[in-house]
Amino acid sequence: MDASRTRRIPRTAAALGSCCLALLCACSAAGSPAGDRSTARAAAVPAAASELQNQYQKVIKDVLPSVVQIQASKDLGSGVVYDGDGHIVTNAHVVQGEKKFKVTTANSEEPLTATLVYSYPEQDLAVLRLDRKPDGLKAASFGDTEKVEVGQITLAMGSPLGLSSSVTEGIVSATGRTVSENQEGGGTGATIPNMVQTSAAINPGNSGGALVNLDSQVIGIPTLAASDPDLGGSAAPGIGFAIPGSMVKTVADQIIKQGKVTDSGRAALGISGRTVVDADYQPAGVAVVTVKQGDAADRAGIRAGDIITGLGGDHVTTITSLAESLAADRPGQRTTVTFTREGVERTVDVTLGEQ
């Protein structure tokens, strides 16, 4: 399964509400007469439906005013109001190489202009700032990623297919996913760790929007939807990914305070490389092209021309698999690198640097 950008991947929202109702309907008071149980079940259905619907509507009322539509010269995406100063967080692949954008907020009748503060493609995040702060601008509340659990109900808010202020629903399907983004069609090629997987519909234009829990907290920024390479890259329904809210805050705070990202928290070897293939044209490792002087690989004695085949306990066959293995580690962590040099396999200890 590959991950591709949201503008290419449609899907159908999961009908979670009916499942909740089915569970609630199965409950009845012990010892009640049959007629009473029947009446209780009939009353429980509309009561449960009304309660869930009211909760959805409360969350939408709380968060949707913080979700904006971003128009670049050739692309359309979404963003989330980050603070009261007019900063907006979105995906780097939404802004690409542009500096000026049109932004439509929930309270603005006409598009406002915004300027890029900084783009950080390595995490597929960027921050814009409105040139003029409108009245009633509402900043979103970001949740703690550590508290996100599988099965939680989620709402995805954004501008799919240009339909501003759209909402879809689903659940958290998994946490801690490491996913690599394609570079085709303007993608950043970033390998992003700890992503939140959701069944909420992530459609073209949702990129940069909000994945929200029922406490009205943004738990992620929808970024990727899955495609199935065995089906010609067509959509894999119900599989979308969001950058975790805690990482969004870490990156956005640095950009706003310092104008750039100074502490990525991402491990690095300090090399550039390319995927090599074996005699059967299958990926077989990463050939080191350059080694940054004084960085982790250099200190461990790795040289240009070496072919990396393992990192720690992970088997490395491509530049993407190397990036995904590094994404699970931290700067300063000690691990091992296995590589071949002139046909001889070697393993060295490495203290990882920072991306």
Are 66 and 139 contacting, i.e. CB atoms less than 8 angstroms apart? yes
Residue 21 token pair:
């109702």
What is d(CA 16, CA 174) in angstroms, rounded to the nearest whole number? Answer: 16
> Residue 262 and residue 204: Cα distance in Å, rounded?
31
What counts of helices (H) and strands (E) characterise the chain?
6, 21
Q: Residues with Cβ < 8 Å from 223, sequence gap 6 or more? A: 5, 6, 91, 93, 124, 181, 192, 195, 207, 208, 241, 242, 243
Instruction: Name the DSSP letter for residue 94.
Output: H
From 280, 286, 335, 334, select the one nearest 308 (Cα to Cα).
Answer: 286
The active-site residue, picked from 159, 166, 207, 227, is 207
- What count of residues does the chain have? 355
Please report how many Cα atoms fall inside a 13 Å half-sphere around the Cα of residue 26, on the Cβ side: 5
C-alpha atoms less than 13 angstroms from C-alpha of 222 in its C-beta half-sphere: 37
Q: Is 87 a catalytic residue?
A: no
Backbone angles phi, psi at 354, to 5 degrees: -120, 140
| Strand partners for 143 | none
Among the options 4, 75, 124, 329, which is catalytic?
124
93, 119, 164, 306: the catalytic one is: 93
Question: Is 286 in contact with 279 (CB distance < 8 Å)?
Answer: no
Contact between 225 and 202 (Cβ < 8 Å)? yes
**Cα–Cα nearest to 196, from 224, 215, 216:** 224
Active site residue 2: no
Q: Are 80 and 67 in contact (CB under 8 A)?
A: yes
Contact 301, 351 (CB under 8 A): no
Residue 207 annotated among the catalytic residues of the structure: yes
Whether residue 202 contacts residue 158, with contact meaning beta carbons closer than 8 Å, is answered with no
Point out the residues that are catalytic. 93, 124, 207
